[in-house]
Amino acid sequence: KQEVTQIPAALSVPEGENLVLNCSFTDSAIYNLQWFRQDPGKGLTSLLLIQSSQREQTSGRLNASLDKSSGRSTLYIAASQPGDSATYLCAVSRPPGSARQLTFGSGTQLTVLP
Amino acid sequence: DADVTQTPRNRITKTGKRIMLECSQTKGHDRMYWYRQDPGLGLQLIYYSFDVKDINKGEISDGYSVSRQAQAKFSLSLESAIPNQTALYFCATSDTGTVNEQFFGPGTRLTVL
């Protein structure tokens, strides 16, 4: 059974700091890995998707990396802003047709202080 | 307008009541999913549907049923709600391409008293 772990569960940083969120998974046979942002009262917003054949993806101030062999992914946020405050979830996908489409971690709650 | 919508956004009900949560999407995707999220935990898959005639159980389907009324509509029902079904429920969609990126609705907060 695939298990996804995110450490730390909560993180507080001053504005402007660069930071890294961690995600680890137990089964390296993944199809892709997705990073989401969750704001209170709102749904999940997809930030980045890394396919299993890729090592990283970038979008603006966000960079996600994937190391399948070690079962790890990181989300790097550059020059953090208070608007980045949210819960960040990672999820790994098995190939379409599998019973468990996405397995989620429990998230890292990020607070960026002004 | 949002691509994936859910109704209602909030619902309080009593034990034993039948509840239906609805999801609609305008993304034109064939695949739709229902997840639940408990406080401090990740999302768990309840049911998923690859097209109107293909519905499958997820990890935690007991106590739930679904209906895929059309490509754009996927409903989740709790036949007899119980307090431990109090959670945040999300609907999601994805296309049939190889990427399988999922897009989520805003969620329905359900409280069962």
Q: Are A75 and A64 in contact (CB under 8 A)?
A: yes
Type of residue at B60: I
- The whole-number pLDDT of residue B1 equals 58
At A96 the pLDDT is 60
- Return d(Cα A50, Cα B8) in angstroms, integer: 33
Is the Cα dihedral A79, A108, B110, B94 positive or negative? positive
**pLDDT for res A48:** 95
Segment B64-92 mean pLDDT: 96
What's the pLDDT band for B83 if we cut at 50, 70, 90?
very high
Tell me the mean pLDDT in the region B71-76: 97
Shortest distance, CA A35 to any CA of chain B (angstroms): 10
The predicted pLDDT at position A31 comes to 85
With an 8 Å Cβ cutoff, are B100 and A106 in contact? no
Q: Which chain B residues touch A45 with a CB distance below 8 Å?
A: 104
Q: Give the distance from CA A8 to its chain's centroid.
A: 12
Q: Which two tokens stand for residue A88?
A: 């960040």
Q: Name the residue with tokens 């994805």.
A: B94
Element (H, E) at A22: strand A19-25
Q: Would you state the structure tokens that stand for residue B89, as one six-digit string?
A: 């429920």
Beta-strand relationship, A102-104 and A108-113: unpaired
> Could you please report the per-residue DSSP string of B18-43?
-EEEEEEE-S--SEEEEEEE-TTS-E
Three state DSSP letters for A75-96:
EEECCCCHHHCEEEEEEEECCC
Contacts of B90 in chain A (CB under 8 A): 43-44
Contacts of B5 (CB under 8 A, 6+ apart): B23, B24, B25, B105, B106
Three-state DSSP state, A4: strand
Tell me which chain B residues have a C-beta less than 8 angstroms from the C-beta of A32.
Answer: 99-101
pLDDT tens digits in sequence order for chain A, 114 residues long: 889 999 999 999 999 999 999 999 998 888 899 999 999 877 889 999 998 899 999 999 999 999 999 999 999 999 999 999 999 999 998 766 665 478 999 999 999 999
Q: pLDDT for B37-55, tens place per residue?
A: 998 788 999 999 988 999 9
Asked if A99 and B57 come within 8 Å (Cβ–Cβ), the reply is: yes
Residues B49-63: what's their mean pLDDT? 92
Question: Is there a contact between A89 and A82 (Cβ–Cβ < 8 Å)?
Answer: no
Q: What is the mean pLDDT of residues B92-97?
A: 84
